[in-house]
Amino acid sequence: MKRAMIAAAILFHATSAAAAGPPVDVAATPPRSASKLPDAGRALGHAGAADAAASDAGAGVADAGAADGGSVAGTCIEHVPPGAKRPTLKEQLSPRGLSGYVAELKLTISHGKGETVLPEGFRLQSGTDAAKELEKAGFVVPDPSGAVTPKITVEPGENGTAVTTIIIPVVPLPPKPGRNVLELPPLPIAISRANNDYVTLCTAPHSIQVEDPIANELDPKVKPNPAGRPQREDWPLARYLAVGVPVGGALALLGALLQRWWSRRPKVKPAAPRIPPWVTALEELERIRRSSLLEEGKRGEHFDRVSDAVRRYLGGRYGFEAVGEGYNGLETTTGEMLDVLRRVRPPIAELPRIKDFLDDCDLVKFARFTPTEEHCLEALASGEAIVRKTIPVMMPPAEASP
């Protein structure tokens, strides 16, 4: 009767605490210690411990279903909001293990799709009530940032439900060597609902028979500690240098090769500024005037040089291509040259004089006509007049703009 009254008082206290609001950090620590395990529950690990663990070997899966509302399970207080359906919790822990080796507590929770199990992940900070109870019971949870971490998977269930599987690694560390029976205390599992409310489930206590790692060896020897794991410090500067130095060296080598190629490339000399054809023609005609060809009686050569100077000028001035190299008009016949000059726009005002000059030149060249000194001087004057009359007019910059 007295025990029933105490249990009812604890149940009422848990329900009142649940109605006050959602628990804080339920995934890390239990809300508070409600009661200690009965003395009868601590009788494991003595004379009947082995038999009790052996008889419980087939009961590795436990259904922790309970009625709605608050209930007490060891050091954990369950909380189910009024009107909410308690999720189904199934647990599994191997009944046997080795001291110092990981044993996995597998939890399978069937809940609604709008609910999230352990929304902030599994966090168990040192110094909390849950961590102290685990340590007192002879268990340690590995650091989640290490090699062994809790695993959480979510899969769709039946009838619009979801199934979350949680695997929590625990390491049994019995205080005494040899065979020991330890009891894993209840752990709180937080579930957030769509209305920002929380459900807290408590796992059931689990007994596990722990053996020494060398219990099955015939003549165990003392084994040395394993080699320490190397501690590597992240040195960003060294990492950047390890990447930047080779890349910088490659870029410097590439730059040196490009500079060497650029310095050894064939040098292209800039073309000399082109002398206007009328300047060249007038200079050539002036040289012919100052020559001694007429005094030496070389009147045919004098006439031919005047003709060539004017033809070369016309080819360069009006830009028609001669049959051969250059734009000098020397290899163009008189008829071809006149056809080109007639197509020049605006028309050439001196075209009649050019035609007469070219005809006179053909007469001397092809008809074997021997010109007199007067004919040579007239041809020279006519050539100079043709050049001067066809020089393009250079407008001042102010007048050249449209």
Q: What DSSP string runs through 324-379? A: SSSS--TTS-HHHHHHHHHT-SSPPTTHHHHHHHHHHHHHHHHS-----HHHHHHH
Domain range annotation of the chain: 2-39+51-211, 277-392
Q: Are 187 and 26 in contact (CB under 8 A)?
A: no
Residue 193: how many other CB atoms lie within 10 Å:
16
What confidence tier does 4 reach under pLDDT thresholds 50, 70, 90?
very low
Check whether 126 has a pLDDT greater than 80.
no
pLDDT at 132 over 70: yes
Per-residue pLDDT at 63 exceeds 60:
no
pLDDT, residue 2, reads: 32
Helix (H) / strand (E) containing 248: helix 236-264
Q: Does residue 346 have a cis bond before it (omega within 30 degrees)?
A: yes
> Would the pTM count as exceeding 0.85?
no
Measured between alpha carbons, how far is residue 40 from residues 5, 45, 96 in Å? 19, 12, 22
Spatial CB neighbours of 81, under 8 Å, sequence gap ≥ 6:
18, 193, 197, 198, 199
SS3 state of residue 188: strand
Which has more confidence, 7 or 280? 280
Q: Which of 172, 171, 204 is nearest to 187 (CA)?
A: 204
Strand-pair partners of 188: 202
Q: Which amino acid is at 360?
A: D
- Between CA 347 and CA 342 the distance in angstroms is 7
**Residue 54 pLDDT greater than 60, yes or no:** no
Pairing state of beta strands 71-73 and 188-192?
unpaired
Q: Which residues is 116 bridged to in the sheet?
A: 192
pLDDT for 321 equals 52
Indicate the average pLDDT of the chain: 75
Between CA 261 and CA 17 the distance in angstroms is 84
Confirm if 183 and 41 have CB atoms less than 8 A apart. Answer: yes
Report which of residues 32 and 320 the model is more confident about. Answer: 320
Q: Return the ∠ at Cα 42 (arms to 41 and 45), rounded to 5°.
A: 120
Query: Which two structure tokens, joined as six digits, stand for 46?
Result: 């003595």
The DSSP-derived string for 263-274 is: HHSPP-PPPPPP
Which residue is it, tokens 């007295």? 2
**45 three-class SS:** coil
Structure tokens at 1: 């009767």
pLDDT of 287: 93
User: Does residue 105 contact residue 167 with C-beta atoms inside 8 Å?
Assistant: yes
Pick the range with the lowest mean pLDDT from 17-26, 239-248, 298-307, 355-364.
Answer: 17-26
Per-residue confidence (pLDDT) for residue 249, from 0 to 100: 94
Cβ within 8 Å of residue 211, ≥6 positions away: 96, 97, 98, 99, 179
For residue 111, the surrounding DSSP H or E stretch is: strand 103-112
Q: How far is the first Cα of the chain from the last one, in angstroms, to the nearest whole number?
A: 120
Give the number of C-alpha atoms closer than 13 A to the C-alpha of residue 343, restricted to the C-beta side: 8
Average pLDDT on 141-162 reads 85
pLDDT of residue 56: 38
- 109-136 burial, b at 16+ Cβ within 10 Å, e below that, comes to bebbeebbbbeeebebeeeebbbebbee
Which has more confidence, 207 or 293?
A: 207
